[in-house]
Amino acid sequence: MTRTKLPEKAPSSRRTTLRTHHLGELNLSDIDSHVSLCGWVHRRRDHGGLIFIDLRDRYGITQLVFDPKLDQHSHDLAQLLRSEWNIQVEGRVRARGEGLTNEKLATGQIEVEATKLKILSKSKTPPFSLCDDKIDVNEDLRLTYRYLDIRRGEILERMLTRHKIVKIIRDFFDRRGFCEVETPILTKSTPEGARDYIVPSRVHEGKFYALPQSPQLFKQLLMISGLDRYFQIARCFRDEDLRADRQPEFTQLDIEMSFIDKADIIDMIEDLMIEIFDKILGVQLKKGFRHMPYSEAMEKYGCDKPDLRFGMEFHRVTDIAEKSEFSVFRDQIAAGGIVKAICVKNGAAFSRKDIDDFTTFVNKLGLSGLAWMKMGDEGLSSSIVKFFSEPLQKELIKRLDVEVGDLILFGADSLGVVNQAFDHLRRHIADLQGLKKEGDWKLLWVDDFPLFEKDKESGLPTSVHHPFTSPLKEDFNKLHSDIFNVRSNAYDLVLNGFELGGGSIRIHDSEIQRTIFELLRLTPDDITNRFGFFMEALNYGTPPHGGIAFGIDRIAMLMAGASSIRDVICFPKTQRATDAMMDCPSTISHHQLDELHIRVKESKRG
Amino acid sequence: MTRTKLPEKAPSSRRTTLRTHHLGELNLSDIDSHVSLCGWVHRRRDHGGLIFIDLRDRYGITQLVFDPKLDQHSHDLAQLLRSEWNIQVEGRVRARGEGLTNEKLATGQIEVEATKLKILSKSKTPPFSLCDDKIDVNEDLRLTYRYLDIRRGEILERMLTRHKIVKIIRDFFDRRGFCEVETPILTKSTPEGARDYIVPSRVHEGKFYALPQSPQLFKQLLMISGLDRYFQIARCFRDEDLRADRQPEFTQLDIEMSFIDKADIIDMIEDLMIEIFDKILGVQLKKGFRHMPYSEAMEKYGCDKPDLRFGMEFHRVTDIAEKSEFSVFRDQIAAGGIVKAICVKNGAAFSRKDIDDFTTFVNKLGLSGLAWMKMGDEGLSSSIVKFFSEPLQKELIKRLDVEVGDLILFGADSLGVVNQAFDHLRRHIADLQGLKKEGDWKLLWVDDFPLFEKDKESGLPTSVHHPFTSPLKEDFNKLHSDIFNVRSNAYDLVLNGFELGGGSIRIHDSEIQRTIFELLRLTPDDITNRFGFFMEALNYGTPPHGGIAFGIDRIAMLMAGASSIRDVICFPKTQRATDAMMDCPSTISHHQLDELHIRVKESKRG
């Protein structure tokens, strides 16, 4: 045994009773130290009498050598070791031999001569490999064995990044005098009641709590209480039919301030984003993000969260199409429709087959057809060019800034249908052309949203954001005459086609609040039953206030380079809202149901 | 108008579009600055033409002067102002006149000549005064108008203290390499199922989620996943019959570490407590808190969370009582009971009436009587002294260290009954004698708990903490022979009679875990259905691990000097588990019930 040195290093914060160092720590300065290490067997190699173990923990990998000449017993025991066994070893740090160092590892210059080995716990063979960086495993299996999926490293890294982001956010708001307040999870069913998760009360028979979809009313009450500056990393719940990449519970950065206007929120959030991007990615953003009114976003990109990493804006060409001889366009226009076109740079390279695929793509989105023209050295060509006179062609080329090698795509239908189909098509083509560059971060404020939109079924006004959003002052006078043209004092922050967050200046006058509720067709009884406490609160000197909320899962996903929010949530639900590991939701006992005064309705399918 | 100076100060973080300064900020260095201020009318005084307004916000109070000679319009408008109206003013900062300064206010050297006034929102008369520090208002009314209760200042201060405590905790663990992980709120019904809040699933008919009573299994899974160091400020839920000062939802500091033993947890938590006490209270604690085994705590204080700010330990005097002629004691002993005594220093001053009250007090706790003796200059006196021989009296005096002026109280019954009654009596007398000194902080580790206790009804073993707690290694061999004497590797941290937190080293071996479940009379089916996923996880190289959890509400309460956890929770539930402000829980619509596949059971009382 070679205990040339006692462990004399200052105790590090990772040092514990069972280990002197973690596994990403030892280097040439530790040569001859006697160390105690713990971790998982990552790889094992037998080399003519010597056994090499790559021992792994959260912090790194350290190579162990078991040499029968140094300690026969440990060497014998090491022969039993298998992948993922959890062990503790003691031994001396030594330099690796010439040519045997590993530059990829922080500990690649050294190895540890193990002279004592203790098996802490054995492992069954994992259901998928934990050594390979890229594995092709069914997500359900990964979620069922989430603890092993995390051990693989990638999810673990993302959890650490997420922790770091949230820490930066909390430090940022603490420095600025914000108070984090925990608002209740057991609360009252909200306006959006139909999407509430509810919780039966045992003590109050036949009554229910609801889980919050957001702390909106609580944060407004905190402004009324004089807290001045509130934030919370808040868990929120929404029982939605799970569209792509939604979770029943999600985490929101929730912010509210008093005595402010939109400019104060924007100023502060830009500072926050600049700090997060700098500290997490080392990317320097410039203050003064671009702004775009909702109307412009819809006109040019067909959506309220445009990805600005690439152009391909929509151009309205109804006037040109109307003058053409192309009956498809003329019929649509006659029926009240519009025609929009996009110019795909270098798009002439797309084949006939590609363009047919685009047509199928927009068909699925409700657009019946896609017309196109290619720009060659000889000018425009396609089967419909003949319907456009020379001057009309020139006008088209000018308006869309068409160059040789470009492709023009036309959509003709109602404005809504064209916008939706072209929004998706634009992003689809950008994928094909590789225009969504990684590391290109295009932040955008979208504002001047309409306050109301028409409910698709009833045609009645519903809130675009929520009923507490203030109308723009200059549009107050349209509330009763031109309701769908009233703009709100709301703002969304968009990053590369994702909505990071959104907020608004709130209504702080109970009369205006009542007017909005009435315009939303709430009866006086509805107002009292659902918002009575809040309407009362507004009567006690409510300060002007506003705020914003961000999806933490979404931000973490984008910063960590993950493709789904499930990859930045430690224990996510599946797309069927189940926990694959725990098997939940699950049945509960009759006794429990009895105590809660409820029963399960007999199934009609039963 | 006297705009002698433009606002040229560097923008502070509280500066917004509507204000240049907050109301705790201006002082003599701001003289002649033109400022814009916002806040609530705290007090209004009319002084011969001049109107003085104390304007209040979260940060302080600033005095405004409305002088008709400076601005007639503002002065006229200021006459309308009433308590709690929310206003914005502009004006010039000036020094207060000689003799008119207020040393109690940070801004007491200055006032602001208001030359512009805008009423932001009016206020109804609040249901209770917001100006007086001490008000005697029914708690239900305060909770119904919680936003006004907070505006009074005391609750607001506590929320800020709570924010600060939680910030210190997060910074502490971040520095030590802990990763904060958010574990699910929608999870599976746990072992303690009967106390779970449950949530019906809309998507999975007849199935339910449960809200977590603690993230126990998740944090153990995170250790299996290799996270190494986890913490979380976690919301937990328990549907208990609400005993004094419990809440349906509460906040827990939840911690878990791998490759550690009890000493590592204790070392770290002492560092944490030292830091919190220093930064919040300016109190310097000394590392190396006192330890006491559970058995000693029960023997000397009759409870596992003794308040050590005062003595009054219990002494067992069964042997002395047995030799006396006092039949009450002898009968109890013959029936298997014991006799304990406490010496109340200076207790001879208690009157006969006081001692009768003590008797009534212990009667309510199940102890049938209380015997007593007083120590005077002539020795012991009371109606029962005659039953004790001279040597027995001497023995008593010696064992209890009785001095002149002291009172001895005796309890005779089963050990459990005496312990419980004397625990309460000891604390009650300490209250009367003023022994619970504020600012005296006695921290204590209680350890070596029993692993199991007898269920009161069935006599079968149940876990004292939870079934994942490791037995002490040296007691493994008693698991099958002497189960109620097996000690656990658990530890509680106690402060002045309150349990701040508790934790344990966990079982990391699936065979031992299975044995514990079996000793708890779980069938193999129970184990599979309730813990199958966890038993499986234990099989993949589980590292030795352990942790601890603290009640954040309790810690905040003690540090803020509040007397109830409701005073450190922003929107607490009442003792009937209702939200007085929002009126929740509440009924929900048939449509919602239908969607969730449940119905309310008809009431038997109906």
3-state DSSP of B229-251? EEEEEEEEECCCCCCCCCCCEEE
Is the Cβ pair A175, B201 closer than 8 Å? no
Query: DSSP state, A451?
Result: S
C-alpha span between A181 and A547 (Å, rounded): 15
Q: For tokens 């002494």, name the residue.
A: B315
pLDDT digits (tens, 9 = 90+) for B171-208: 999 999 999 999 999 999 765 557 899 999 999 999 99
Six-digit token string for A541: 């000197």
What residue type is A34 in one-letter code? H
- pLDDT beyond 70 at B605: no
Which chain A residues are within 8 Å of B85, Cβ to Cβ?
A: 541
DSSP A371-438: EEEEEETTEEESTTGGGS-HHHHHHHHHHHT--TT-EEEEEEE-HHHHHHHHHHHHHHHHHHTT-S-T
According to the model, what pLDDT value does residue B193 have? 58
Q: How confident is the model at residue B603 (pLDDT cuts 50, 70, 90)?
A: low
- pLDDT beyond 70 at B100: yes
Which chain B residues are within 8 Å of A176, Cβ to Cβ?
A: 13
Does A400 map to a domain?
yes
Are the beta carbons of B326 and B317 closer than 8 angstroms? no
Which chain A residues are within 8 Å of B181, Cβ to Cβ?
A: 159, 163, 570
C-alpha span between B178 and B526 (Å, rounded): 34
Q: How confident is the model at residue B3 (pLDDT cuts 50, 70, 90)?
A: very low
Q: Which of A206, A225, A596 sits opposite B150 (nearest CB)?
A: A225
According to the model, what pLDDT value does residue B250 have? 97
C-alpha span between B198 and B216 (Å, rounded): 18
According to the model, what pLDDT value does residue B414 have? 96
Looking at the structure of chain A, the number of domains it has is 2
CA dihedral A104, A109, A115, A117 (to 10 degrees): -20
- pLDDT beyond 60 at B6: no
Q: Which of B121, B155, B176 is the last residue of a domain?
A: B121
According to the model, what pLDDT value does residue B179 have? 97
Q: How confident is the model at residue B592 (pLDDT cuts 50, 70, 90)?
A: confident
pLDDT digits (tens, 9 = 90+) for A66-118: 999 999 999 999 999 999 999 999 999 999 988 999 999 999 999 999 999 99
Does B33 map to a domain?
yes
Are the beta carbons of B577 and A201 closer than 8 angstroms? yes
Does A212 map to a domain?
no
Give the best residue of B13, B81, B186 to mutate against chain A (max A CB count within 10 A).
B186
How far is the CA of A511 from the CAs of A450, A475, B335, in angstroms?
20, 16, 75
Q: Around A503, how many Cα atoms within 13 Å sit in the side-chain half-sphere?
A: 29
According to the model, what pLDDT value does residue B10 have? 43
- pLDDT beyond 70 at B599: yes
> Exposed, middle or buried: residue B378 (CB in 10 Å: 0-12, 13-18, 19+)?
exposed
C-alpha span between B424 and A189 (Å, rounded): 42
Which chain A residues are within 8 Å of B121, Cβ to Cβ?
A: 508-509, 541-543
- Taking the CB of residue A566, how many other CB atoms lie within 10 A of it? 20
Is the Cβ pair A203, B576 closer than 8 Å? yes
C-alpha span between A332 and A372 (Å, rounded): 16
Q: What is the CATH number of the domain that holds A314?
A: 3.30.1360.30
Is the Cβ pair A85, B58 closer than 8 Å? no
Q: ipTM of the assembly?
A: 0.94
Q: Which of A58, A208, A599 sits opposite B601 (nearest CB)?
A: A599
Which chain B residues are within 8 Å of A156, Cβ to Cβ?
A: 225-227
Q: A585 preceded by cis ω (within 30°)?
A: yes
Q: Around A137, how many Cα atoms within 13 Å sit in the side-chain half-sphere?
A: 20
Q: Which of A380, A412, A436 is the last residue of a domain?
A: A436
According to the model, what pLDDT value does residue A14 have? 80
Are the beta carbons of A177 and B252 closer than 8 angstroms? no
The radius of gyration computed from the CA coordinates of chain A, to the nearest angstrom, equals 31
Pairing verdict, β A443-447 and A290-293: parallel
Q: Each residue of A60-71: b (16+ CB within 10 Å) or e?
A: bbbbbbbbeebb
Q: Which of B225, B541, B595 sits opposite A123 (nearest CB)?
A: B541
Pairing verdict, β B498-505 and A498-505: unpaired
CB pairs under 8 A between A and B: 379
Show the DSSP H helices in A246-370 as ranges.
Answer: 262-276, 294-301, 318-323, 327-334, 352-364
- pLDDT beyond 50 at B376: yes
User: In what helix (H) or strand (E) does residue B325 lie, and over which residues does it extend?
Assistant: none
Does A333 map to a domain?
yes
Enclosing domain of residue B329: 310-436
> Exposed, middle or buried: residue A486 (CB in 10 Å: 0-12, 13-18, 19+)?
buried
Instruction: Provide the shortest C-alpha distance from residue B12 to chain A (in Å).
Output: 9
How far is the CA of A17 from the CAs of A37, A74, B182, B502, in angstroms?
11, 21, 27, 20
Q: What is the CATH number of the domain that holds B44?
A: 2.40.50.140
| Chain A residue closest in CA terms to B204 | A585
Cα of first residue to Cα of last residue in chain A, in angstroms, is 72
Instruction: Provide the shortest C-alpha distance from residue B502 to chain A (in Å).
Output: 20
Q: How confident is the model at residue B13 (pLDDT cuts 50, 70, 90)?
A: low
Is the Cβ pair A544, B601 closer than 8 Å? no
Is the Cβ pair B193, A589 closer than 8 Å? yes
C-alpha span between B328 and B315 (Å, rounded): 18
Q: Which of B227, B571, B599 sits opposite A599 (nearest CB)?
A: B599
Are the beta carbons of A305 and A446 closer than 8 angstroms? yes
Positive or negative CA dihedral for A470, A475, A480, A485? negative
Q: Which of B87, B121, B155 is the last residue of a domain?
A: B121
C-alpha span between B344 and B347 (Å, rounded): 5
Does A381 map to a domain?
yes
- pLDDT beyond 60 at B562: yes
Which chain A residues are within 8 Å of B576, Cβ to Cβ?
A: 203-204
Collect all residues with Cβ–Cβ distance below 8 Å to A418 and sequence separation of at least 6. A302, A314, A337, A338, A339, A340, A367, A411, A412
According to the model, what pLDDT value does residue B9 have? 45
Q: How confident is the model at residue B133 (pLDDT cuts 50, 70, 90)?
A: low
Q: Which of A166, A194, A576 sits opposite B592 (nearest CB)?
A: A194
Collect all residues with Cβ–Cβ distance below 8 Å to B205 and sequence separation of at least 6. A600, A603, B597
pLDDT digits (tens, 9 = 90+) for B48-61: 789 999 999 999 99
Report how many helices (DSSP H) and strands (DSSP E) chain A contains, helices first. 16, 23
C-alpha span between B472 and B477 (Å, rounded): 10
Does A92 map to a domain?
yes
C-alpha span between B289 and B291 (Å, rounded): 7
C-alpha span between A168 and B417 (Å, rounded): 53
Q: Which of A85, A571, A603 sits opposite B218 (nearest CB)?
A: A571
Which chain B residues are within 8 Å of A163, Cβ to Cβ?
A: 174, 179-181
- pLDDT beyond 70 at B576: yes
Are the beta carbons of B436 and B430 closer than 8 angstroms? yes
What residue type is B522 in one-letter code? L
Does B151 map to a domain?
no
> Exposed, middle or buried: residue A540 (CB in 10 Å: 0-12, 13-18, 19+)?
buried
What residue type is A157 in one-letter code? E
Which chain B residues are within 8 Å of A17, Cβ to Cβ?
A: 259-261, 263-264
Six-digit token string for A41: 């067997």
| Chain B residue closest in CA terms to A530 | B582
Which chain B residues are within 8 Å of A239, Cβ to Cβ?
A: 202
Instruction: Provide the shortest C-alpha distance from residue A69 to chain B (in Å).
Output: 28
What residue type is A499 in one-letter code? E
3-state DSSP of A157-207? HHHHHHHHHHHHHHHHHHHCCCEECCCCCCECCCCCHHHCCEEECCCCCCC
Is the Cβ pair A188, B18 closer than 8 Å? no
Does B592 map to a domain?
no
User: pLDDT under 70 in chain A at which residues?
Assistant: 1-13, 133-135, 190-193, 244, 603-606
pLDDT digits (tens, 9 = 90+) for B208-245: 999 999 999 999 999 999 999 999 999 999 998 777 78
Six-digit token string for B327: 């039949």
Query: DSSP state, A479?
Result: T
